[in-house]
Amino acid sequence: MLGGAKEAGAASSVVRLNTLRYRGCQGCDACQTTGECVLKDDLTSVHQQLRQARLWVLAAPIYYDGVCGQMKLFFDRLRPFSVRKLSGRRAGLVLITYEDKERKDYAKHARVLAGYLGWFGDFRPAETFCAADLGGPTAAKARAGLLSRAAEAGKRLARGLAEDVQ
């Protein structure tokens, strides 16, 4: 996906939630006044990156009928963005992978997360991308068709944003 976006002229960076140390939202509501999370941890710099990024691609596996814990904690910590909306047009895509056969109920998880992006500012309707039958970290590499679809989605999103600016 990021390769397709790069091919369309977008710069990208990858944040791996699993390598970060961060806590879940504490429900303190301080962000409701300041627009900033009072927790200072590895997500502090990620929030800064997100404020600058015009295209968000959020990817997570589903293990036990819901997105992984890291992504849930991450979304909970995005609450400041619902108070102090991001400026400028943005696009987003939520990518969900799982090992099971194709399941409509899993696609719903992606749609729910994609819908949240609209709470944060002027996001084009966020897209979803679900990939079934992916067991293990290298399973996607053997699926050329899936990788091609992902690259096309990245190109489409990056080009769409470029058109919005013109």
Q: Beta strand pairing status for 121-123 and 55-61?
A: unpaired
Give 92-131 pLDDT, tens digit per residue. 999 999 999 989 899 999 999 999 999 999 988 888 999 9
Q: What single letter denotes the amino acid at residue 37? A: C
pLDDT band at 140 (very low <50, low <70, confident <90, very high): confident
Report pLDDT digits (tens) over 26-84: 999 999 999 999 999 999 999 999 999 999 999 999 998 899 999 999 999 999 999 89
pTM value is 0.88
- Please report which confidence band the pLDDT of residue 166 belongs to, taking 50, 70 and 90 as the band edges: low
DSSP the chain: -HHHHHHTT-------GGG----------THHHHSS-S--STHHHHHHHHHH-SEEEEEEEBSSSSB-HHHHHHHHTTHHHHHSPEEEEEEEEEEEE-SSSP-HHHHHHHHHHHHHHGGGEEEPPPEEEEE-S--STTGGGG-HHHHHHHHHHHHHHHHHHHHHH-
Check: CB of residue 58 under 8 Å from CB of residue 90: no
Tell me which CATH code domain 22-165 carries.
3.40.50.360
pLDDT of residue 165: 56
Q: What gap in Å lies between CA 157 and CA 37, rounded to an integer? A: 29
pLDDT, residue 136, reads 78
**What's the pLDDT at 78?**
96
Evaluate whether 147 touches 113 at the Cβ level (below 8 Å).
no
Domain ranges of the chain: 22-165
Confidence band (pLDDT; 50, 70, 90) for 141?
confident
